[in-house]
Amino acid sequence: MNYDKFLQIFSIGTLCVLFSLMTLGGYVSSTGVGLSCPQWPLCPQGLIPSYEFLIEYIHRTIAATTGLLVFLTMVFVLRGRHSTKPTKLFSIIAAAAVVGQITLGAIVINEKLHADLVTAHLGLGLILYSSMIFVVINIFYTNVNLKSLQPSNLSSQDSDSRVSFSNK
C-alpha cells in the first residue's frame, strides 16, 4: 500500500472513531452519567471501573485513543509529500482542538458539569469534527487528482497538451 492510500484509510478511520466518541458523548450527557466518575484521570476504583461508571469511562478511554489518532493523522499529513497547505493547516487545528477538548473534558468534570463548560465542550468538539472532515476530504481530493495525472489515466489528447505545455 502506498503512503497516500495509507493516509486516506488512516484519516477516515480516525474520523469514524471521533464520530463514535461524539455520539457516545451525547449519550453520556442525555443519560446523566457525566459525574458517575467524579475524578480525573481515573475513577475512584482505579483502572477497572465498576459497571455504573462504564459509559463515562468508555467516553474517556475512546477520547484518549482519539487524541492519539488525531495527533498521528497530523504527523502523517505533515510528513506526506502530496499534502496541501490547507490539509496541513487543518490537521494542526484538529490536533490542537483535540488537546483542548480532552483538557476541557477534565475541567467539565472538576467543575461539576457547569452548563457553560459543557456547551464549550460541545462547541470545541464540533470544531474538531469539522476540521477532521476537511482533512479527510482534502486527502481524498488530492489522491483523486494524483490518480488522474497518472500517465495511464491521461487521454492521448491530454498527454499531447502536456507535451506541448512542457515544451513551452
CA dihedral over 67, 102, 92, 94, signed as positive or negative? positive
Name residues whose C-beta falls within 8 Å of residue 106's C-beta, 6 or more positions apart in sequence.
40, 41
Near ligand HEM by CB under 6 A: residue from 69, 98, 132, 139: 98
Residue 70's CB is within 10 A of a number of other CB atoms, namely: 26
CA angle 85, 88, 93 (to 5 degrees): 125
Examine residue 43 and tell whether it contacts ligand HEM (CB under 6 A): no
Give the binding range for ligand HEM (CB under 6 A) out of 21-29, 83-91, 138-146, 157-165: 21-29
Do 80 and 3 meet the contact criterion of CB atoms below 8 Å apart?
yes
| Grid coordinates belonging to 86 | 490547507
Near ligand HEM by CB under 6 A: residue from 63, 74, 93, 139: 63
Q: Residue 34 or 80: which CB sits closer to ligand HEM?
A: 34
Examine residue 80 and tell whether it contacts ligand HEM (CB under 6 A): no
Please, what is the minimum distance in Å from the beta carbon of residue 131 to ligand HEM? 11
- Amino acid (1-letter code) at residue 108: V
Examine residue 121 and tell whether it contacts ligand HEM (CB under 6 A): yes
Distance between CA 125 and CA 97 in Å, rounded? 8
β-pair partners for 46: 43
Examine residue 16 and tell whether it contacts ligand HEM (CB under 6 A): no
Please, what is the minimum distance in Å from the beta carbon of residue 54 to ligand HEM? 14
Examine residue 22 and tell whether it contacts ligand HEM (CB under 6 A): yes
| Grid coordinates belonging to 87 | 490539509
Q: Which residues of this protein are in contact with ligand HEM, per CB under 6 A?
A: 21-22, 25-26, 28-29, 34, 40, 59-60, 63, 66-67, 98, 101-102, 105-106, 108-109, 113, 118, 121-122, 125, 128
